[in-house]
A = this chain, B = another copy of it.
Amino acid sequence: MLASDYMSLAVAAAKRGGPATYTNPQVGAVIVKDGQVLATGYHHYFGGAHAEVDAMQQLTAAQLRGATLYVTLEPCSHFGKTPPCCRRIAAAGLQKVVIGQLDPHPLVTGHGRDYLQSHGITVETGCLAATVATLNRHYDWFYLHQRPWITLKYAMTLDGKLTAQRGQRSLISNHASYIDSQHVRQHFQAILIGEQTLTIDDPQLTVRLTTLAHPPVRLVLLNNSTAAVNTKLTQPSTVPTYLLCRQAAASDAQLSAQPNVHVCIADWTPAKVSAWCARNGWQSLLVEGGSHLQADFVAAELVDELIIYLAPTVFGGQGLPTVTGVAAASPLTFTTPQVTVFGDNLKLCLQRKEAQ
């Protein structure tokens, strides 16, 4: 087997962690000696053992001595939730460490590699890098750009409409698309909607198909908090709701008294929402509309990805366009769409060209 084969096994192991690792990245590890895979490990959940340790714990001191570790992400060198992995790797006498990618986290980047090398361990980096890069796109983006990865998600008709008439909700996509959109939510740490969507749809913005230790927080951009009174988002919940209001209102105190409901008053713009998410450590933001909020993020060029559910319907000349409001200075361009068929619906996923 080649180094890239062992790294493939580590990538597959990493994926078993899934969103349970957030806000940590998904990481996988494989320990190999004399051409034999001795152990496979991964980061199971936030606060749990790191992937390297998960694998090392399965082996005896004799097995570890002189072995090679394949790990998708650079081993940590700082004390966080767990002691630094580098120290344990060096102490166990491993001979070689093959790394998928360096950790973009500023406390780690390069330090783990340097620590290992300074302790006489052979280190290779960049093994199967393109594949490894798909594991933690949001995490990587967050630490490289100091802001969340921002995805716009909407369902639209074949004539680019969100609803048949302004001010009314239209059911556009089919059940399979609905289920998929629930799966999409679980990979984000924050979900944002605008005032129209709050008042017309009154959504819950929860991930209803699975139980998450850290479900995405719920954000609403509002003129003031009045519109949020008696909505589902401000009912008692274990998931925090943040009402991002441009102005104070009489309803602020009543809403803030609800457990897990926060009223935050500021002159909110997409750039300010993004910066505020970053300060809160949220690595990814899913913007779920509506139309004006989407135009705001397009105009601010704060769109890294589009997820579109396309339904085989035409609403005609008075339907609400999927993106309407402030003008964009220039068009945003995206990669070749990745197409998934859900019955008569299509799901299109595209990443911003500038995000490549």
Interface residues of A in 145-179 (CB under 8 A from B): 156-161, 164-165
The interface bits of chain A over 334-347 (1 if a CB of B lies within 8 angstroms of the residue's CB, else 0) are 11110101011010
Tell me which residues from 189 to 227 in chain A have a Cβ below 8 Å from any Cβ of chain B: none
A236 in the interface (beta carbon within 8 A): no
Stretch from A64-72, A132-140, A253-261, A308-316 contacting the other chain: A308-316
Which residue in B317, B333, B341 is a CB contact (below 8 Å) of A312? B333
State which of A47-55, A97-105, A292-300 sits at the interface with chain B: A292-300
A90 on the interface (CB 8 Å rule)? Answer: no
* A106 to B: closest C-beta gap in Å: 32
Question: Which one of A16-24, A78-86, A267-275, A320-328 contacts B?
Answer: A320-328
Q: Which residues of chain B have C-beta atoms less than 8 A from A161's C-beta?
A: 160, 321, 323
Number of interface residues of A (CB under 8 A): 48
What would 12 more interface pairs be, CB under 8 Å, given A158-B306, A317-B324, A336-B341? A159-B321, A160-B321, A161-B321, A161-B323, A164-B328, A295-B317, A312-B334, A313-B331, A313-B334, A316-B327, A318-B326, A318-B327
A residues with CB within 8 A of B: 156-161, 164-165, 292, 294-296, 298-299, 303, 306, 308, 310, 312-319, 321-328, 331-337, 339, 341, 343-344, 346, 348, 350
